[in-house]
Amino acid sequence: MREGARLPGVDDGGDEPEPIVLHVDADCFYASCERLREPALRGEPVVVGMGYEADETVGAVATASYEARAFGVESAQAISSALERLPRRADCADRPDLDEDATGYYRPVDMEFYQSVAADVRTILHECADVVREVSIDEAYLDVSERTAWPVAEGFARHVKDRIRREVGVTVSVGVASTMSVAKIASDFEKPDGLTVVEPAAVREFLAPLSVDLLYGVGPVTARELRRMGLETAADVAETDPKPLVDAFGERGRELYERARGVDDRRVEPTGVPKSFSRESAFDASLEAPGPKRETIRTLAAAVAERATREGALYRTIGIKAVTPPYDVHTRENSLPGPVDDPDLVERTALSLFAEFERERVRKVGVRLANLEFAAGEQTSLEGWDGEASVPVGEDTVSTDEQSAGRRRGGQSTLVDFANDEHD
Ligand code: TTP
Ligand code: MG
């Protein structure tokens, strides 16, 4: 953990400088791609979506160029609403009532083409950074701490933007900050074609006036609840007593409070590296006897620890999950002072965390390792993750994963097992 990241706006005075994180997000990405192969669309309102042809009625907007957004067209809108706000330019010939300047170009979604453009952008991002985490087709975090320094970070980010514009032909907005969450907010700050740098000492000042909606992980429901509590801005959240937040939102409330203060200890991890390993088993019937449950915990603990060892991962957090009827999910976890690879400790900790549920009726149990660290040089291959079955939690879920814990340990046939690696 980096002390510097814990004290936003304060130079930690230590040897280790604050990380330099870039969040890169392409501007109206699908529309920009359409403009690449049809330059006449530049500067025009462009809507990419489905369902706008004369005989179609159902469909939605994937994205709209900023010129089209000025007419009120936006992502996820029903195409019928978009057409009301911005009729098709193609219909002008048949409809003399239309003002051509208040119409736009509609294009269908062509994922294959957008993927190829995204791949070109990605190549540049990988050339510019030591660590790249791709989060969606047009969005990635870069750790460039070793490539630049704070006084020249803006120039570095401009260089990344310029390369993408010159070599691929699309514009991206970039946020530069010492944490992932502030970099993300910063990339959105001056969109399109934006570049916002938030130096470590300026984090609190930057966040302070922002509406709570802009904070990491806050959707409309949480925002409404925060407003009800009298919290309108990030500064309001940062300065409040965190207890009511934790009471209202649980762990997420604590996280919200920290994010509003600019605290975010997450480091940029390469795409494909998991955040946690977990194994779960559902019981056919709810059991009250502790014996079989303890045995299941042991089995799951061994399986999950073996998985971590196989992947060269150390872990700092050991947790369990117990689902009691009707479907109440309880989680407990213990964080260690340092990362370990210790299967016996996983078993002991899991059993002791599970003790409070031993005599309860339990539908499902799970063991989870988190706060992973990967030993240098043992970076995991992507195929390793793909081969693992990952199926949704559910009563009657049957895993086809031949390596799942129960079977490997030789037959707890009452168990339905599945494996899940959490990536985000
Ligand atoms: P975004 O980055 O959210 O949007 P954008 O790039 O179009 O616009 P912005 O300038 O605000 O970043 O999403 C990237 C692409 O993902 C977008 O071009 C189209 C697609 N998309 C959908 O298909 N449906 C949606 O609801 C959203 C939000 C995006
Ligand atoms: Mg985008």
DSSP class of residue 18? P
Q: What confidence tier does 285 reach under pLDDT thresholds 50, 70, 90?
A: low
For residue 27, the CA-to-ligand 2 centroid distance in Å is 5
Q: What are phi and psi of 135, to 5 degrees?
A: -110, -25
Q: What confidence tier does 384 reach under pLDDT thresholds 50, 70, 90?
A: very low
Is it the case that residue 215 has pLDDT exceeding 90?
A: yes
For residue 138, the CA-to-ligand 1 centroid distance in Å is 8
For residue 137, the CA-to-ligand 2 centroid distance in Å is 8
Q: Atom 15, ligand 1: which residue's CA is nearest? A: 29
**Helices 242-249 and 251-260, packing angle to 10 deg:** 140
Ligand 1 atom with least separation from CA of 48: 19
Q: What confidence tier does 311 reach under pLDDT thresholds 50, 70, 90?
A: confident
| Pairing, β 276-287 against β 195-197 | unpaired
For the chain, domains (ranges, CATH) are 30-109 (3.40.1170.60), 217-265 (1.10.150.20), 276-406 (3.30.1490.100)
Of the residues 139, 232, 373, 388, only one is catalytic, namely: 139
Among 421, 303, 292, residue whose Cα is nearest residue 361: 292
| Pairing, β 172-177 against β 195-197 | parallel
How high is the pLDDT of residue 121? 97
Among 145, 190, 152, residue whose Cα is nearest residue 25: 190
- Cα angle 51, 108, 63 (rounded to 5 degrees) comes to 90
Among 119, 121, 92, 90, residue whose Cα is nearest residue 106: 90
Q: What confidence tier does 161 reach under pLDDT thresholds 50, 70, 90?
A: very high
Residue 86, both tokens: 């911005």
- Rounded to the nearest integer, the mean pLDDT of the chain is 85
The CA radius of gyration of the chain, in Å to the nearest whole number, is 25
Catalytic residue flag (residue 269): no
Taking the C-alpha atoms of residue 146 and residue 134, their distance in angstroms, rounded to an integer, is 19
419 or 256, higher pLDDT: 256
Q: Atom 5, ligand 1: which residue's CA is nearest? A: 28
Q: What is the pLDDT of residues 67-123, one digit of tens each?
A: 999 999 999 999 999 999 999 999 999 999 999 999 999 999 999 999 999 999 999
* Mean pLDDT, range 331-339, rounded to an integer: 94
Ligand nearest to the CA of 69: 1
Is it the case that residue 143 has pLDDT exceeding 60?
A: yes
Q: Atom 20, ligand 1: which residue's CA is nearest? A: 62
Measured from CB, residues less than 6 Å from any atom of ligand 1 are 25-30, 62-63, 75-76, 137-139, 191-192
Ligand 1 site-directed mutation target among 24, 63, 77, 195, most atoms within 8 Å of CB: 63
- pTM of the complete model: 0.68
Q: What confidence tier does 424 reach under pLDDT thresholds 50, 70, 90?
A: very low
For residue 191, the CA-to-ligand 2 centroid distance in Å is 9
For residue 107, the CA-to-ligand 2 centroid distance in Å is 17
376 or 28, higher pLDDT: 28
Q: What is the pLDDT of residues 338-368, one digit of tens each?
A: 999 999 999 999 999 999 999 888 888 999 9
Ligand 1 site-directed mutation target among 111, 138, 171, most atoms within 8 Å of CB: 138
Q: What confidence tier does 283 reach under pLDDT thresholds 50, 70, 90?
A: confident
Lowest mean pLDDT among 249-253, 319-323, 332-336: 249-253
Q: What is the pLDDT of residues 223-265, one digit of tens each?
A: 999 999 999 999 999 999 999 999 998 888 999 999 999 999 9
**E strand intervals along 232-370:** 276-287, 313-324, 328-340, 362-370
For 209, the 3-state DSSP assignment is: coil
Q: What are phi and psi of 104, to 5 degrees?
A: -145, 175
Q: What confidence tier does 1 reach under pLDDT thresholds 50, 70, 90?
A: very low
